[in-house]
Copies of this chain bind each other. A is one copy, B any other.
Amino acid sequence: ALVNHCLSHFESSTLYAKELAKGQHWVITAGPTREPIDPVRYISNHSSGKMGYALASAASKLGANVTIISGPVTLPTPDGCQRVDVESALCMHEQALALAPQADVFIACAAVADYRIAQVADQKIKKTNDEMTINLVKNPDIVADVAKLASKPFTVGFAAETQDVATYAKDKLARKNLDMIAANDVSAEGQGFNSDNNALSVFTSTEQFDISLASKGQVAEQLVSLIVKQNKK
C-alpha cells in the first residue's frame, strides 16, 4: 500500500514534472530589445518581461538550472536563476546561440525587434529636417537559428499577434522547425505585454492545448509543466 501511494504521488503532475526537469538546463529569453538609432534614441516595444520571468521562476522551482537572457526590464531576477543582460537583438542572438547548444529547453519569450537600424549614428541626430527616414534591416531570427542547431534543445517559440492568432502561430511553428509555440492575442483586453495576466493557445505539430486567462505566474507553471511532459515524449 505504501509503494502504491508513493507511485501515485510521484506521478501526480508537479512531482512528476520535478523529477523530469531536475538538473536540466533551461535558457529563456525575456523582455524587449532596444535597437539604437543614435546615442539617445532607440526602437523598442511594450514587452514588460513578466511572462519570461514567470517561466524562469516556474522552471527553477521544478529544479531546472535556468539562465534568463534578458532585455531591459525593471524586474528582479527570480530566485536561483542566472541572468545575462542584453540590449539589442544582435546581442541577444549572440548569447542565445552561445548558450542554447548545451541547453535541454530553449524558450524564446523575448519580444525581439524584427528590424534594427541599418546605420546607427555616432552622435545624436539633429532635427534639421521636417521629415526623416529610418532605414531598417532585418535582425537574425533567434528562435529559428536555435532550432537549426545540430544539438537542438526542445525549442519553444512565442507568437504575440493582434489578428488570426492560431493561423500565424501554426505557420511559425512549422516554418521555424519549433517543437512548441505559445500564442497569445495581445489585442485582447487584460492579457499580454504589460498585463499581469495572460492566456495562451499552445501548439505542437500534432496537438493544441489552451491555457485559460490567469496570472502570468499560474500560466507559466502550466506551460512549463506542459513543456516538461512534451519534451519527454
Residues of chain A in range 65-119 having any CB-CB distance to chain B below 8 Å: 74, 111, 113-115, 118
Q: Report if A44 contacts B (CB, 8 A).
A: yes
- Whether the pair A193, B40 counts as a contact (CB closer than 8 A) is yes
**Cβ contact of A41, chosen from B39, B45, B137, cutoff 8 A:** B45
**How many copies of this kind of chain does the complex include?**
2
Question: Please, which residues of chain B bring their CB within 8 A of the CB of A162?
Answer: 39-40, 123-124
Q: Report if A127 contacts B (CB, 8 A).
A: yes
Interface centre among A40, A133, A134 (most CB of B within 10 A): A40
- Whether the pair A42, B37 counts as a contact (CB closer than 8 A) is no
Question: Please, which residues of chain B bring their CB within 8 A of the CB of A193?
Answer: 40
Question: Please, which residues of chain B bring their CB within 8 A of the CB of A136?
Answer: 131-134
Question: Please, which residues of chain B bring their CB within 8 A of the CB of A46?
Answer: 40, 42
Nearest Cβ distance between residue A87 and chain B, in whole angstroms? 10
Q: Report if A207 contacts B (CB, 8 A).
A: no
Chain A, interface residues (CB within 8 Å), range: 35 or more
Nearest Cβ distance between residue A62 and chain B, in whole angstroms? 30
- Whether the pair A43, B37 counts as a contact (CB closer than 8 A) is yes
- Whether the pair A138, B127 counts as a contact (CB closer than 8 A) is yes
Question: Please, which residues of chain B bring their CB within 8 A of the CB of A127?
Answer: 114-115, 138
Q: A42-B43, A45-B42, A186-B40 are in contact. Are A161 and B124 (CB under 8 A)?
A: yes
Listed from nearest, the 9 A-B pairs whose CB atoms lie closest are A114-B127, A132-B136, A134-B134, A41-B45, A124-B162, A40-B45, A130-B138, A123-B162, A74-B74
Sample of 8 further A-B pairs with CB below 8 A, known A40-B162, A43-B44: A41-B43, A41-B45, A42-B46, A115-B132, A123-B163, A124-B162, A131-B137, A133-B134
